[in-house]
């Protein structure tokens, strides 16, 4: 879809109350290459930023090989762009990266992460890796595990390799036993849980901007929301107490952390009367 059509669709969504948009594609960094002959993600973002009422724009599936200085500059300077990126690295051992046709190396990925974090203060990086890819040895896996401990992604998901005949990897021998794949998956996620808990613990005491998604089903809290560090449905949430409303932005002080989620108290929220949104204060004493 060309830029003008995407902007029109975004404007219509915002007109109906949308506050946040997530840009998702097989490879978001390649947006526009099929239409314009070159990637034009930055141009699209600039048009979306100009829409009044749109507060947050979030980038998902930004592969490591597509980053350019103009996009980094925009991400660092534009408040509507969440300082959040989803960047799948898939692995961190060079032989496996080569077998996956990833077009990068561990050193290249490390350099890019350092560049991103150095350019965008407070950047949240979400990534994904695969365990059990054909030919992955214990040494390859341990190398990846060490890299993940070193770079400490804010968010990480791990998948077990699944053999698909229609892919280039389908021509390889699926030689990693299922029990080994599962054991490697568990080790990655146990390590990441500790990393995420450390990151969340460091946030306790901060006052952050949150977007309130819905009323809470837990009677101990009034609302469920998210900070700019968390994409809807795939990342953590903030369990909130206080006066607010669905679709409203609020300032909340983070008082505790519970696993992947945060706990907070609303100290200031937008007024529902300022917005064309269905928003009701919780009926709690």
Whether 34 shows a pLDDT value over 60: the answer reads yes
pLDDT band at 269 (very low <50, low <70, confident <90, very high): confident
What is each CA distance from 177 to 41, 96, 253, in whole angstroms? 41, 17, 46
Please tell me the predicted confidence (pLDDT) of residue 283.
Answer: 37
Alpha-carbon gap, residue 20 to 13, rounded angstroms: 10
Please tell me the predicted confidence (pLDDT) of residue 259.
Answer: 83
- pLDDT, one tens digit per residue, over 205-232 is 999 999 999 999 999 999 999 999 999 9
As a whole number, mean pLDDT of residues 130-149 equals 97
∠ at Cα 58 (197, 237), nearest 5°? 35
Are both 122 and 253 inside the same structural domain? no
Whether 68 shows a pLDDT value over 80: the answer reads yes
Dihedral angle at the C-alpha atoms of 269, 273, 279, 284, nearest 10 degrees? 60
- pLDDT, one tens digit per residue, over 227-264 is 999 999 999 999 999 999 999 999 999 999 988 899 99
In this structure, what CATH number is given to the domain that contains residue 194?
3.80.30.20
- pLDDT, one tens digit per residue, over 271-284 is 766 555 433 334 33
Alpha-carbon gap, residue 237 to 216, rounded angstroms: 11
Residue 16 is assigned to a structural domain of this protein: yes
Please tell me the predicted confidence (pLDDT) of residue 215.
Answer: 95
Owning domain of residue 101: 3-202
Please count the helices (runs of H) and the strands (runs of E) in the chain. Answer: 8, 10
Whether 87 shows a pLDDT value over 70: the answer reads yes
Are both 128 and 80 inside the same structural domain? yes
Are both 212 and 192 inside the same structural domain? no
Q: Per-residue b/e over 234-251, b at no fewer than 16 CB within 10 Å?
A: ebbbbbbbbebbbbbbbe
Whether 134 shows a pLDDT value over 50: the answer reads yes
Residue 50 is assigned to a structural domain of this protein: yes
Whether 77 shows a pLDDT value over 60: the answer reads yes
Contact 21, 56 (CB under 8 A): yes
Please tell me the predicted confidence (pLDDT) of residue 93.
Answer: 97
Token reading at 68: 């350019």
Are both 108 and 224 inside the same structural domain? no
∠ at Cα 212 (208, 216), nearest 5°? 115
């Amino acid at each position: 879809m060309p830029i003008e059509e995407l902007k029109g669709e975004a404007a219509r969504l915002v007109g109906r109350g949308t506050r946040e948009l997530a840009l998702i594609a097989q490879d978001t960094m390649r947006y526009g290459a099929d239409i314009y002959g070159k990637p034009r993600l930055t141009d699209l973002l600039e048009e979306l930023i100009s829409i009044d009422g749109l507060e947050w724009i979030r980038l998902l599936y930004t592969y490591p090989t597509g980053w350019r200085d103009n996009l980094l500059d925009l991400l660092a300077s534009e408040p509507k762009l969440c300082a959040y990126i989803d960047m799948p690295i898939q692995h961190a051992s060079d032989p496996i990266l080569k077998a996956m046709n990833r077009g990068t190396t561990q050193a290249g990925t490390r350099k890019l992460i350092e560049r991103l974090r150095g350019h965008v203060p407070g950047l949240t990086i979400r990534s994904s890796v695969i365990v059990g890819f054909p030919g992955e040895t214990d040494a390859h896996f341990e190398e990846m595990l060490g890299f993940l401990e070193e770079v400490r992604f804010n968010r990480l998901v791990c998948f077990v390799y699944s053999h698909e005949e229609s892919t280039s990897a389908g021509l390889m021998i699926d030689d990693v036993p299922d029990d080994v794949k599962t054991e490697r998956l568990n080790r990655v996620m146990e390590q990441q849980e500790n990393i995420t808990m450390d990151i969340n613990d460091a946030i306790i005491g901060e006052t952050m901007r949150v977007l309130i998604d819905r009323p809470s089903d837990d009677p101990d809290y009034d609302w469920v929301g998210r900070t700019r560090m968390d994409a809807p449905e795939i990342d953590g949430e903030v369990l909130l107490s206080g006066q607010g409303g669905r679709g409203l932005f609020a300032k909340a002080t983070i008082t505790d952390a519970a696993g992947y989620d945060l706990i907070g108290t609303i100290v200031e929220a937008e007024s529902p009367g300022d917005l064309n949104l269905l928003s009701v204060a919780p009926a709690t004493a």
